[in-house]
Structure 1
Amino acid sequence: MKKIGKGKQILLFIIIQNIFIYCQSFSFTSNTLTSTSFSTDKIISATYKSAGVVATCQQNMSVIKALSFSNTYTASNVKSYSSSGNCISVQFYQSATQNLILSISQQSGKLLNYGSNQISLYNTLFSTSSNTYTQTVSVYSSVQSQEGILVGFSNGEIKNYFQNVNHQTFNNCTNQVIGLWYSQIDSVNLVFAACGASTIFIYDKSIIPTGHSVQQTTFYAISSYQISNNVNLIKFIKMGVDANYTCGAVSKYGSTYKMLVLYYSSNAFNLYKTFTLNNDFVDIYGLTNYFMVLQQNLITVFNFDGNILGQSQTISNQFTLFSFLDETNFMTVDNQNNIQIWTVTFSTTPCPYYCKCLLGSSICTSCPSNSNRASLDINNKCLCNPGFYDDGVSQICIICHSSCKTCNGPNDNNCQSCQDGYFLVSGQCQQCDYSCQTCQNTNNFCLSCNQSLGPRTFNAANGTCLCTLNYIENQNKICSCTNDYCLTCNPLDGFQCQSCKNDTSWNLTPYKKCECKDGFYLDQTSNDCKRCSFPCIKCIGSSTRCKSCKNTQTWQLVNNSCSCKVGYYLDQSSQECQACPSLCSECNSSTQCTSYGYYFDISSNDCLPCPPLCSACTSSNFCTSCKNSTSMQIFNNMCECSSGFHLSQDQRNWIHQDGVQIKVKILVIVLMDTILI
């Protein structure tokens, strides 16, 4: 299904909150027509045309009367037309050249032509006797659309009569049609119908359902709106301009009348405002920026917020109806069938450019969003935020020069007050001395101190901001403690610290001094605590010059350096000293003994002695060095006598070591009859 003009409906409603006309004062003038020759039967409908023509119909009568009047307000050329049924309503049809009167009776609708000699039948638009109704159906309301005449019936049907033919029947409503109105903007054609006591239907011919051509101009229901179960509608009128899709609905609760202001947007009706009308309510009519309520003895003008904008003088008789020619001219009828022609004049004042007003009001209700304006002040004005100025025309405040706090223009010489750190001289903001937070007249006469540069004391007599007692100004112009290691210090003693530079590397001692924490040393270059290198827990002068090691059981301090004690090795993964395997007095790892004459046996997970003659080995049959490098050599991974040397008589002894018997071969090497043991 294709929808035309939906975006326009959303956009157009936005206008309802941006119509800035406020009728400040209304002036009513009226003149009563004379020589009208009406009978005593109540006039129940009347219509007024600019050419000075009035048409009426009276209760329980089939006669329609029309008359002319001049600037003397004397009726003339009074003509009558008798219809086949009692007249219900009359209204002038849209015609610039003819006085065509749309006359609605209980069973028919006709166009009558009022001329200089008579009222004649111009066209019969519809007749209930010619259709298929099985019951008498009375007409309730009608409205002229672009296509023809829309007529609402008491059974809920709405018919669109065009060129003497019922072009379309709207049958969504099943209750009496309370009111109809039509809106046409560009390609958007909408019909609004109040159905029964609380439902509104919206019809649009811009909807083109599947299987229909664009040439078919029938209307289709696009939405319905249930106002409230407690609403009892008696009037439904169009208000505002077409573009706003605004309407008014009057509901009656006993003797109480309530006005509901509604708007249509995004295919739905929305309630804008509800307020109470006086219980002497007679009729209502909606205009562009306000609406008028006919009460029994006077006329009251309201804006769409329910505020009273003006009232007419009271009359002695009681009003029964009124009909409008345009925004400023209308007619009334009272209970004595007197017809009065009214003119209303008013002065208008636009809503201030700097705020938002509700429809029909010049009183600011809010400040526009994204306008750089603050909320409403006590004078009901939207002032510019600091740093912006009002050019007297634009809704959006314009930004000041960066040096200005407030200004009246965009340039650096339009300042009215300055940002902190500047002072005003002939509309320009000049920078204060670094020690001043604010200053005046000269850059070094401070009004307050710049505490971001350390604690400073303000001297009001001479406008100075010097470092607080026992603080000194360093090369960066920051007031710091006399003790460089303090973050804050005793105001009476700049060497006594109250806090240190940071809590990570510095420690405040009970003597109010700042010292490096364990694991840190004082770096003379940066004058700050730096972390010691592992495994020092205390160091001095540099990160690698240790004073103590992290664990005295496994670590030892040698020449200001930490290393593992004998019988321990440095485990690279844990960075801790681990004990060597048993029988190993020294080792490089858990699997590599460096003790003299022993090797690590994987199968027994223990240290075992090397073969005889070996001073070092990796297994029982693999020597890596011999006991005497002069007389011995490694051959086939074992130690033997070198050339010119031999072993003495093989002798065997048993040596007990650690409670285990070990068989040791004593080798005696004899050289040149000299025994070397």
Structure 2
Amino acid sequence: MCFACPQACITCSNETYCLSCQLGTYLYDGTCIQQCLPGTYLDPNSWQCELCHSSCQTCQGPSPRDCTSCSDRISPPVYGQCYIVTCNAGQYFEVVDGSCYDCDPSCQTCFGPQRLDCSSCFRGYFLDQEGACIENCPLGYFGNTDFLLCEKCSDGCEICETSSDNCIKCRDDEYSLFLHEGKCLASCPEGYFQNNEGSCEACDSSCQTCDESKTKCLSCPEGLYLENNNCVTNCSLQYYPDEDGFCKKCAAHCNICYDSVDCIECSFLYLLHNGICMATCPKGYFEDFDHSKCIPCHVTCATCSGLSYNDCETCLPVSPKLYKGQCLEDCPTETFYKASEMECQECDRTCKSCIGPDSTDCIQCQDGLILDPKAMKCEVHGDIMCPSKTFLRKEQLTCESCHHTCETCSGSSPRNCLTCQLPYYLYISE
């Protein structure tokens, strides 16, 4: 007849005695339990709860040196060992035979099973991790003068003093470690850089981060801008402060700009037009070199030399005729339109009106002159005098213009003036 095994058993020899247990429970004295009882420990190989040594209340293994608490529940274990009897100073208790043995002379106290298994040292010596009393702790440890122990330095530290967090030299491992405020770090914190001595040195106060030297900034505090590894309040000429905290180059030929596309002031011999620096202004603008800008022409001008309505050089189709810098729909009286020059020119002074292409091609004469319809010239008739600023060319019976400096004259040369126009004065040579 088959009987069910006890609860939590996988296999059993009868209905009360387990031989193996389900996952999460442990075998002890034929029973599957969820946790080993005091006085036992879990054997990871068999997954069974085994008895501690008789000197132990609790333990982590079968040896008399595996105790975690002692049977008397008063004295804590010393190096995993519970003392059943008290030995004299300078002796240790051997739990195997229950006897006391002398420590090595280098030990103040020891715990066995060897004489050199020191547990404390005389002043001037430190107890290392192997249980030996030594004058100088090995690399990676420092001598605690209060407890006369060699204590481990913080991770990555090769030499430390007075405490584990007071490192003075980091280990030279496969990867670099840097010393910062007594600790060894894989990289320096913000505001510090890695110097040649292998430690983290503070950046200059103007830098937020730096590299290679304290003044070679990589980034800047708020309100400052990075330019050529320096943190500045204002960017240099031809640079502008960007939102990302960097001084960036203005566009070509620009001295001062808002950003990479909007220039405010151009460099020498360049002219500003719609935020761009140009060598020449586009049509419809004149080149103001005093202010290094392209200034719009007057609305009547196609091209110009200034702001005014009479600074036009060429005209738009709506008022195509240029006269004394103005663009007009028609030429004024006593002028004619010369197409080859694209401007209105003065008629000869004998003409009241003319048609060109020469200034003497009159169609109406000044008062007192008669038009020769074949020659298209105005002639003197009878005793009529030539008009002001003209003279009589007798062989042709025509009036011709004086030089522009003369008020009255006897010929066309400036040396033929009889009286002068203001502001000129007549000079009579001897």
Which structure has the higher relative contact order (CA within 8 Å, separation 6+)? 1
- The structure where strand makes up a greater share of residues is 1
Larger Rg: 2
Q: Normalising to structure 1: TM-score of the pair?
A: 0.23
Normalising to structure 2: TM-score of the pair?
0.33
